Amino acid sequence: MAKCDVCGQQENMPYECRHCGGTHCGEHRLPENHDCSGLHDWNDPKGVFNSGFDDSVNSSAEASTTEKITSKLPFNTGSSGVLGYFRGNPTYTVLLLMWLTFVAQIATEFVLVATSTSPIIYDSIFVLTPQNPEYVWTWFTSIFAHGGIMHLVFNSIVIFFFGPLLSRYINDRSFWLLFIGSGVAAGLAQVLIQLLQGGSGSSGVLGASGAALAILGVMTILNPDLKVYFMFFIPMPLWVLTGGFAVISLLLVGGGMAGAGGIAHAAHLIGLVIGFAYGEYLKRTKNIRTPNQLQLGGGGPGGPGGPGGPGRGRGPF
């Protein structure tokens, strides 16, 4: 027999909470019903245990403002709906923001042309330029904006293949800090190096290349021998692919051509350096087991939040 920590009732088969270690009766077994201290270790104390699989949770926990709003939307916002793909999967959220931003770019260009408005407005919204680095918002919008459909597709491919893999080893917050932090640092470094190389009149910076290569850099440190397929059919270890990017960028930046060919080579290089540094940090502080080949699907150790559970497909890069 054991006594419930909340009501004192004697139980032959008590429940032990795996979050706080307390002993509880059937009525108080749920973390929400015994004021579990473990709730405070989560970013979403009210929602993390309310998975929808236990009706007693919904009846005992007061619906949040967010739940009230989402219940009125004309589409499924649960784990089985379209938004389920983005819960706990920052990679898909990043990709969605990139493509939505690209649509916004097209719409903005259309409006500017239709109204004969100066294109400077477009740059001030989406592009980080050497002329106006003080436009702080462009530090962030420029990460998600792209210079064309192929630019967007290439970066999307890198992020789509390697983002979910990285998400298995770090939490969402760390993923976003790496993505945004490396993207901002890469863009500012590109602008600074262009200015130092006498390129004050150079074009601005936009695109997620720096952030994408930071992700690539982390995975290269964690698993340099990961087998990938360059251009989808040329097999090689990941370190060769990443090393090729690094060498090309280093030679061009060192040769005073940081923006040669309209490509932000300095941003690529800084993104890789940040990725290498963070990957080394993870390698030294985390016990990480990595696969020997690239596997698609899965936003974390338990798989994506979307319908169908963890992905099982495999594919080349």
Q: Give per-residue pLDDT as tens, 117-135.
A: 887 888 889 999 888 889 9
CA distance 176 to 281: 17
Q: What is the CATH number of domain 85-286?
A: 1.20.1540.10
In 15-73, beta strands by DSSP E: 15-16, 23-24
* pLDDT (0 to 100) of residue 288: 66
* pLDDT (0 to 100) of residue 68: 58
Where residue 273 falls among pLDDT bands split at 50, 70, 90?
very high
Where residue 75 falls among pLDDT bands split at 50, 70, 90?
low
Q: How does pLDDT run across 222-247, given as a tens digit for each residue?
A: 988 888 887 777 888 889 988 888 88
**Percent of the chain having pLDDT more than 90?**
30
Q: With beta carbons less than 8 A apart as the criterion, state whether 283 and 221 touch.
A: yes
306: its two tokens: 């979307």
CA distance 128 to 160: 24
End-to-end CA, the chain = 58
Helix 90-114 to helix 137-144 angle (10° resolution) is 100
CA distance 33 to 6: 9
Backbone angles phi, psi at 31, to 5 degrees: -55, -35
Closest CA to 239 of 221, 251, 254: 221
Place of tokens 């939040």: 305
Is residue 171 pLDDT above 80, yes or no?
yes
Give alpha helix (H) positions in 197-299: 209-222, 238-254, 265-285
Is residue 161 pLDDT above 60, yes or no?
yes
* pLDDT (0 to 100) of residue 237: 87
CA distance 211 to 65: 34
The radius of gyration computed from the CA coordinates of the chain, to the nearest angstrom, equals: 24
Q: With beta carbons less than 8 A apart as the criterion, state whether 230 and 156 touch.
A: no
CATH superfamily, with its number, for domain 1-38: AN1-like Zinc finger (4.10.1110.10)
Weakest-pLDDT range from 167-171, 181-185, 268-272: 167-171
pTM: 0.66
Over residues 151-162, the mean pLDDT reads 92
- Total residue length of the chain: 317
Over residues 252-260, the mean pLDDT reads 70
Q: What is the mean pLDDT of the chain?
A: 76
The structural domains of the chain, with segments of one domain joined by +, span 1-38, 85-286
Where residue 146 falls among pLDDT bands split at 50, 70, 90?
very high
Higher pLDDT, 212 or 117: 212
Q: How does pLDDT run across 14-71, given as a tens digit for each residue?
A: 777 766 667 878 777 787 777 776 665 555 444 444 444 444 444 444 445 545 555 5
Q: For 170-201, what is the HEC assignment?
A: CCHHHHHHHHHHHHHHHHHHHHHHHHHCCCCC
CA distance 98 to 179: 12
Weakest-pLDDT range from 3-17, 158-172, 213-227, 293-307: 293-307
* pLDDT (0 to 100) of residue 270: 93
The residue type found at 169 is: Y
Q: With beta carbons less than 8 A apart as the criterion, state whether 15 and 25 touch.
A: yes
Higher pLDDT, 104 or 245: 104
Is residue 190 pLDDT above 80, yes or no?
yes
Over residues 89-118, the mean pLDDT reads 91
87: its two tokens: 């819960």
Where residue 296 falls among pLDDT bands split at 50, 70, 90?
very low
Over residues 269-273, the mean pLDDT reads 93
